[in-house]
Structure 1
Amino acid sequence: MDNIRLTQFSHGAGCGCKIAPAVLDTILKSDQPTALFPQLLVGNASKDDAAAYDLGNGQALISTTDFFMPIVDDAFAFGKIAGANAISDVYAMGGQPILAIAILGWPVDKLPAELAQQVIEGARAICAEAGIPLAGGHSIDSPEPIFGLSVNGLVHKDQLKQNNTAQEGDWLLLTKPLGVGILSTAQKKELLSSDDQNILLQQLMQLNKVGAALGKINGVHAMTDVTGFGLLGHLLEVAEGSGLSAELYYSKVPVIDAAKTYLAQRIVPDATYRNWNSYSSKTGFGAGVNVMEAFNILPDPQTNGGLLIAVAPDALEQVQNTLRENGLENFTTPVGKMISKTEKTITVIAG
């Protein structure tokens, strides 16, 4: 089994498997009248990370699911990464995860069951790190390996964070560097160095636990996690949902150092082009920005990416202190700002 490379059995990788935003809009379109569910606080009406349901006792139930094809070759690591990515949706809404259920698709005629067992073991390990049980699940025989979790969490209703509630003047912070899509593509092409492999794995397995602490800060007006649509796509969701535009300070956006090395070798995920085609008309660039480089980095599909936080100016210091207390001292510099609506939804400036 040591010689089996999981990434060779799937046509996509991690959150880069996501359906293109424009196609997804077509899929979700409905002519049926929208049923009213007063207790549903967050649902299909917004493009948020999870659903939220009012439990009537001051708390809300957060419910989400996320799954994808292998982004790494090691089965145990794949399970941990897919699990961390799914759990992140609860953290992104300021909640505390409480329970997970596994979703497994496995090509039993191509890959041994023992590898699938290692995927589940990886998920159990990341769930244990999050302090929740992996309580069950469902599996099917599928043409490609697929794994993920359905996760439930809890949050005080008045601390629920959404991705469409940013306010003009909010500072933007990002808690992980970009570049995961580039590095994972290099890995699939067998060009990723061992050192960079370790950097990739470390980031992919890192839980976004700080989201639960950020949920308790009233000045955090909006929050989401950056995944398959890249920073550009998820910031667009924040801006459009909030009826605002955003400035993005390109020089302040954290990027994995090695990512630019692989970019120089023209290693770019296919999903980057898909994302850019969806967002380009809504994005403008200021003087001094390396547009070609930005085109390859800002729409780079992330898997288990960082939290994108919109925070009021008078709460910035509190948020920065919370990030430092959680080992994220390198991510306390604002990467952008929410502004009143302009012709372009996002303007990338040198910063």
Structure 2
Amino acid sequence: MDQIKLTQFSHGGGCGCKIAPAVLSKLLAHAPAGLVPPDLLVGTETADDAAVYRLNDRQAIVATTDFFTPIVDDPYDFGRIAATNALSDVYAMGGRPIMALAIVGMPIDKLPPEVIGRILEGGASVCRDAGIPIAGGHSIDVLEPIYGLVGLGVVDPAQVKTNAGAKAGDVLILTKPLGIGILSAGLKKGLLEKADYAAMLHWTTLLNRVGMHLAGMAGVHAVTDVTGFGLAGHLLEICRGSNLTASVSFGEVPTIDAALRLVRDGIATGASTRNWASYGESIRFAPEAPEWQRKLVTDPQTSGGLLIACAPDAVDEVLAAIRAEQGSDGRVIGRMEVGEPLLRIV
């Protein structure tokens, strides 16, 4: 079992295997318009993190699904990362997870039952940490290993946090450092030290449960989690949903040390190139900015942090909540401004 490397079965790992934003837009353009009942508070309009459906004046259901191919070789770690990533969408809406359903696709003729079992154990361990059961699921026999969850949660309809509520003057806060995609590329090339892998595992298995606390903060206007489209892509979704410009100070963007070293040496994922091709025309970089900075802001994050737009007078409260919940500091990286939906990085 120890000889099997899960990443050898996947053409792209973690959120790096997401369909590129530009391609996804073309696909969705051909999708027929569906029923939009008045109690569907959040649907597909602004590419938000999860759907939200109002049950009554005090309760709404948050529903999401997320799954991907292996980003690491260890099956238990893969299960943990995938489950943490899936539940992040519930937290990003301000929701409290209540249960999950497992999504399992495995090449049964290539992976022994004990390997598959370890993947499921990893996912179950994260759900226990989140205080929820895995109450069912679905499995199929496929060519590449796939694992993830349907995440279900609850939230007060009046406290839903979307990616479309930012206001001019809002401060942007990021709760986790960037670099997961770069580390995954380094892992495939055998370039990660033990400490580098430990850092990667720490951040990708850290639940974004601070989102539940953000729900009750009136000064928090918009929230999204940073995943496969990178920091730039998900911030642009806030810009478009809120009809504002974002300004980010690159020097303030937190980055995992090993990822910074690797990206400066030219290590990056193909997904970062696809991301830039999809939305690069909406980004204004300083002319002298080196190529590796572009690779970093477009780096696909698997189980990345929350990106928060809040009023200036709410910053201290938000940072304190992040520190209390995850034991590390969030970082102020920029602000929202009046202007067309684009991103300036200085």
Q: What TM-score range do you get, normalising by the shorter chain?
A: over 0.9
CA–CA distance in 2 between the matches of 1:33 and 1:247? Answer: 34
1:314 is matched with 313
CA–CA distance in 1 between the matches of 2:133 and 2:92? Answer: 20
Q: Report the AA paired with residue 340 of structure 1.
A: V
Q: Report the AA paired with residue 322 of structure 2.
A: L
Shift, 1:25, TM fit: 0.6
Query: Structure 1 residues 260-269 or 224-233, which shifts more?
Result: 260-269
CA–CA distance in 1 between the matches of 2:110 and 2:189? Answer: 21
Shift, 1:318, TM fit: 1.5
Question: 1:185-231: per-residue Cα shift (whole Å, max 9, x none)?
Answer: 11112221111011111111111111111111011000000000000
Q: Secondary structure at the match of 1:314?
A: helix
Q: Which runs of 4+ in 1 moved over 4 A?
A: none
CA–CA distance in 2 between the matches of 1:42 and 1:264? Answer: 39
1:23-62 matches, within 5 Å, as 23-30=23-30, 32-62=32-62
Q: How many residues align?
A: 346
CA contact (8 A) 2:46 2:237 kept: no
Instruction: Pick closer, same or farther for the CA change 1:328–1:293 going to 2, 3 Å.
Output: farther
CA contact (8 A) 1:94 1:213 kept: yes
Q: Secondary structure at the match of 1:330?
A: coil
2:228 is matched with 228
CA contact (8 A) 1:285 1:291 kept: no
Instruction: Pick closer, same or farther for the CA change 1:315–1:11 going to 2, 3 Å.
Output: same
Q: Report the AA paired with residue 79 of structure 1.
A: G
Shift, 1:111, TM fit: 1.2
1:1-351 matches, within 5 Å, as 1-30=1-30, 32-286=32-286, 290-331=289-330, 333-342=331-340, 345-349=342-346
State the identity as a percent.
50
CA–CA distance in 2 between the matches of 1:195 and 1:317? Answer: 31
Shift, 1:29, TM fit: 1.3
CA contact (8 A) 1:180 1:301 kept: yes
Shift, 1:31, TM fit: 6.7
RMSD: 1.3
Instruction: Pick closer, same or farther for the CA change 1:55–1:179 going to 2, 3 Å.
Output: same
CA–CA distance in 1 between the matches of 2:247 and 2:10? Answer: 36
TM-score, normalising length: structure 2 = 0.97
Shift, 1:275, TM fit: 0.4
TM-score, normalising length: structure 1 = 0.96
Unaligned runs of 5+ in 2: none
CA–CA distance in 2 between the matches of 1:327 and 1:137? Answer: 29
CA–CA distance in 2 between the matches of 1:76 and 1:240? Answer: 38
CA contact (8 A) 2:104 2:138 kept: yes
Instruction: Pick closer, same or farther for the CA change 1:327–1:81 going to 2, 3 Å.
Output: closer
Query: Structure 1 residues 235-244 or 107-116, which shifts more?
Result: 107-116
Shift, 1:329, TM fit: 4.4
CA–CA distance in 2 between the matches of 1:71 and 1:33? Answer: 34
CA–CA distance in 2 between the matches of 1:185 and 1:204? Answer: 15
Unaligned runs of 5+ in 1: none
CA–CA distance in 2 between the matches of 1:18 and 1:33? Answer: 23
Instruction: Pick closer, same or farther for the CA change 1:117–1:230 going to 2, 3 Å.
Output: same
CA contact (8 A) 2:98 2:152 kept: yes
CA contact (8 A) 1:52 1:60 kept: yes
